[in-house]
């Protein structure tokens, strides 16, 4: 699935205040004298201290660090920059999100500071230029920036490197930093843009003396005016997150010079804008054409579309202000039919026919959370037996440009596997026989040898016929439309009794929600396993 504006604007991990710990790795840039020599810069009270918590192979951390390195240059070196690395030690073994390569990469950067503090950031900049090859590019970068090769390698390979990493990881843990990058400027969490000017402006705003000379030279952001057209009747997540609440996030991350005016759809101006611009869904952001001159315009250009004489920022929007609102006891369309009696409410969860003791789930076949959720159904089905009916559906998007005909989050292979699982479900529904195929596939869901799981009475030839005839594509297209109508895009998303939506990946989480909607159902008295190897509450495409 395509990168979304929501992903670009997504908030970072919230962190607790910085805690005191062992002496941090700190860079105080050298100030060049007229004679060309270097001396430590006097930063006491001159600029805001910046603390960053990173993972050396995280691309987002790399981008942020490179932006900060350039910001340090823009401000003439009056910045105290401290880097710490996010990792954990268990039983003497180190773990990091991107594996052992990242552990070594973290240690290399710590050892570079240990060996030559003045050359540390030059080393970091060198390895970050080819971050995908970290730590293999460490030795060549050490040579390039002039580190003492013997001391550097001794630190990396010896106990000193692990000692430095342990102290750094403890500081990250004390700060509550689990996301890379996590950034503090002058002791306060920073969640703004990650370009050099973004950082430099924020450092200036939080500095004691504002570093007046360097800060005064920073270019001012382009002034952009915007109108957010919204409908206060809409309580959906999209209306809350991408309506007026988006203003501050947009200002912090992409358009620091934006000035936003709110317009209510139900006002004369709002209805006029909605009609003249040919809009269908709200909220809508109408942007001044000067946005094209903004420094970060290239980051949002793909979501800017013309609408009449205006530009519109395409945000996630799914509220039709002309349609019936299905749960407000008002005849919004003036057709004499209120809420569920209006045909437009047929797909509204609260209006669907109640199916007692029924459970359905929407998944992406290669989503780790979806995989664990379907695996959890082994215990759930064993617990409830035939007293609970169950069916599985799949999430993707129609896309004729894709080989499979679908845009799936994990690519065409996921779309094809979705179809195969639907074919198994179609032809082997009795006693949930198709789930045996799914559970077998889940043991190695990305393996291309799907036929190895067509066993126990399930025919690989029948599934192949289903795929080649186009039946599998039709089954998936039906599920895609259903998921879209129900506004489901997170794997797994469960629906109990055909009406009540919830998330969960463990047998116990599923049991709790099923039993909350089916009081007295046999099997509810038994607690199931609540253990899983994926984060609780997680989902793909959330």
pLDDT digits (tens, 9 = 90+) for 398-454: 999 999 999 999 999 999 999 999 999 999 999 999 999 999 999 999 999 999 999
**Do 446 and 375 sit in the same domain of this protein?**
yes
Q: For residue 304, is it within any domain?
A: yes
From residue 56, give the alpha-carbon distance in Å to each of 95, 406, 433.
13, 34, 46
**Do 287 and 183 sit in the same domain of this protein?**
no
Cα angle 451-455-458, degrees, rounded to a multiple of 5 = 95
Q: Which residues make Cβ contacts (< 8 Å) with residue 71, sequence separation at least 6? A: 79, 196, 197, 198, 199, 200, 203
Q: For residue 509, is it within any domain?
A: yes
**Do 190 and 116 sit in the same domain of this protein?**
yes
CA nearest to 359, candidates 474, 492, 479, 475: 492
Has this prediction a pTM greater than 0.85? no
Tokens of 531: 């253990």
3-state secondary structure of 363: strand
Distance of CA 277 to the CA centre of its chain: 31
> How far apart are the C-alpha atoms of 518 and 358, rounded to whole Å?
9
pLDDT of 209: 63
Q: How many CB atoms lie within 10 A of CB 353?
A: 7
**Do 157 and 83 sit in the same domain of this protein?**
yes
Residues of the chain with pLDDT below 70 are: 1-47, 208-211, 542
Angle between helices 149-157 and 100-115 (to 10 degrees): 140
Q: For residue 114, is it within any domain?
A: yes
**Do 229 and 260 sit in the same domain of this protein?**
yes
From residue 452, give the alpha-carbon distance in Å to each of 311, 368, 438.
53, 20, 12
> How far apart are the C-alpha atoms of 359 and 104, rounded to whole Å?
46
> How far apart are the C-alpha atoms of 434 and 361, rounded to whole Å?
15
Which residues constitute the domain of residue 194?
5-30+43-216
pLDDT of 21: 31
**Do 294 and 191 sit in the same domain of this protein?**
no
> How far apart are the C-alpha atoms of 295 and 315, rounded to whole Å?
20
Cβ atoms 225, 288 nearer than 8 A = yes
Cα angle 486-539-376, degrees, rounded to a multiple of 5 = 95
Tokens of 334: 């003036």
The DSSP symbol for 432 reads: G
Q: What is the CATH number of the domain that holds 375?
A: 3.40.30.10
Tokens of 288: 């001044």
Taking only Cα atoms into account, the Rg of the chain, rounded to an integer number of angstroms, comes to 28
Q: For residue 498, is it within any domain?
A: yes
**Do 240 and 174 sit in the same domain of this protein?**
no
> How far apart are the C-alpha atoms of 428 and 450, rounded to whole Å?
16
The region, left, alpha or beta by phi > 0 then psi within -120 to 50, assigned to residue 496 is beta
Q: What is the CATH number of the domain that holds 270?
A: 3.40.30
Tokens of 482: 């259903």
Tokens of 287: 């942007």
3-state secondary structure of 173: helix
**Do 297 and 417 sit in the same domain of this protein?**
no
Q: How many CB atoms lie within 10 A of CB 531?
A: 9
Q: For residue 337, is it within any domain?
A: no
CA nearest to 198, candidates 50, 85, 331: 50
Q: For residue 341, is it within any domain?
A: no
**Do 238 and 212 sit in the same domain of this protein?**
no
**Do 111 and 173 sit in the same domain of this protein?**
yes
**Do 60 and 181 sit in the same domain of this protein?**
yes
> How far apart are the C-alpha atoms of 9 and 35, rounded to whole Å?
46
CA nearest to 491, candidates 390, 407, 369, 358: 369
Q: For residue 530, is it within any domain?
A: no
**Do 364 and 286 sit in the same domain of this protein?**
no
> How far apart are the C-alpha atoms of 158 and 210, rounded to whole Å?
42
Q: How many CB atoms lie within 10 A of CB 273?
A: 20
The total number of structural domains that make up the chain? 3
Cβ atoms 180, 54 nearer than 8 A = yes
Cβ atoms 373, 361 nearer than 8 A = yes
Q: For residue 338, is it within any domain?
A: no
Cβ atoms 264, 232 nearer than 8 A = yes
The DSSP secondary structure of 70-98, one letter per residue, reads: HHHHHTTT--EEEEEE--EEETTEEE-TT
The region, left, alpha or beta by phi > 0 then psi within -120 to 50, assigned to residue 303 is alpha
């Amino acid at each position: 699935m395509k990168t979304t504006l929501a992903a670009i604007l997504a908030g970072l991990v919230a962190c607790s205040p910085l805690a005191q710990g062992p002496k941090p790795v700190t860079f105080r840039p050298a100030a060049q004298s007229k004679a060309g020599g270097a001396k430590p810069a006097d930063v006491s009270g001159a600029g805001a201290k910046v603390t960053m918590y990173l993972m050396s192979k995280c691309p987002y951390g790399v981008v942020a660090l490179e932006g900060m390195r350039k910001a340090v240059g823009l401000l003439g070196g009056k910045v105290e920059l401290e880097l710490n690395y996010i990792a954990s030690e268990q039983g003497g073994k180190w773990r990091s999100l991107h594996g052992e390569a990242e552990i070594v990469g973290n240690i290399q950067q710590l050892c570079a500071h240990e060996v030559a503090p003045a050359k540390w950031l030059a080393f970091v900049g060198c390895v970050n230029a080819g971050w995908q090859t970290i730590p293999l590019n460490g030795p060549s970068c050490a040579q390039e920036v002039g580190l003492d090769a013997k001391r550097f390698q001794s630190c990396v390979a010896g106990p000193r490197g692990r000692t430095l990493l342990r102290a750094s990881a403890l500081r990250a843990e004390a700060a509550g930093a689990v996301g890379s990058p996590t950034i503090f400027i002058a002791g306060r969490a920073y969640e703004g843009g990650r370009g050099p000017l973004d950082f430099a402006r924020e450092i200036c705003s939080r500095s004691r003396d504002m570093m007046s000379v360097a800060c005064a030279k920073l270019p001012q952001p382009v002034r952009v005016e915007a109108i957010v057209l919204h409908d206060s009747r809409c309580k959906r997540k999209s209306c809350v997150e991408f309506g007026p609440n988006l203003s501050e996030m947009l200002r912090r991350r992409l358009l620091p010079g934006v000035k936003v005016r709110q317009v209510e759809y139900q006002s004369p101006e709002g209805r006029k804008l909605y009609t003249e611009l040919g809009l269908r869904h709200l909220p809508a952001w109408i942007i001044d054409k000067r946005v094209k001159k903004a420094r970060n315009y290239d980051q949002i250009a793909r979501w800017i579309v013309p609408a009449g004489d205006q530009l519109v920022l395409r945000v996630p929007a799914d509220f039709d202000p002309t349609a019936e609102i299905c749960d407000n006891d008002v005849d919004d369309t003036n057709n004499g039919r209120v809420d569920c009696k209006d045909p437009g409410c047929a797909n509204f969860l609260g209006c669907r026919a109640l199916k007692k003791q029924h459970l359905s789930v929407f998944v992406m076949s290669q989503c780790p959370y979806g995989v664990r959720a379907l695996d959890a159904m082994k215990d759930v089905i064993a617990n409830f037996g035939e007293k609970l009916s169950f069916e599985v559906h799949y999430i993707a998007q129609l896309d004729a440009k894709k080989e499979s005909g679908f845009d799936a989050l994990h690519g065409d292979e996921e779309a094809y596997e979705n179809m195969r699982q639907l074919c198994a479900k179609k032809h082997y529904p009795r006693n949930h026989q198709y789930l045996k195929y799914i559970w077998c596939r889940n043991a190695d869901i990305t393996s291309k040898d799907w036929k190895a799981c067509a066993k126990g009475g399930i025919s690989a030839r029948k599934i192949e016929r289903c795929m080649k005839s186009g039946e599998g594509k039709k089954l998936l297209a039906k599920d895609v439309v259903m998921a879209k109508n129900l506004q489901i895009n997170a794997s797994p998303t469960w629906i109990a009794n055909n009406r009540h939506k919830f998330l969960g990946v463990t047998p116990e989480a599923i049991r709790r929600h099923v039993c909350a909607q089916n009081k007295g159902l046999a099997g509810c008295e038994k607690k199931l396993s609540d253990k899983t190897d994926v984060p609780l509450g997680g989902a793909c495409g959330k």
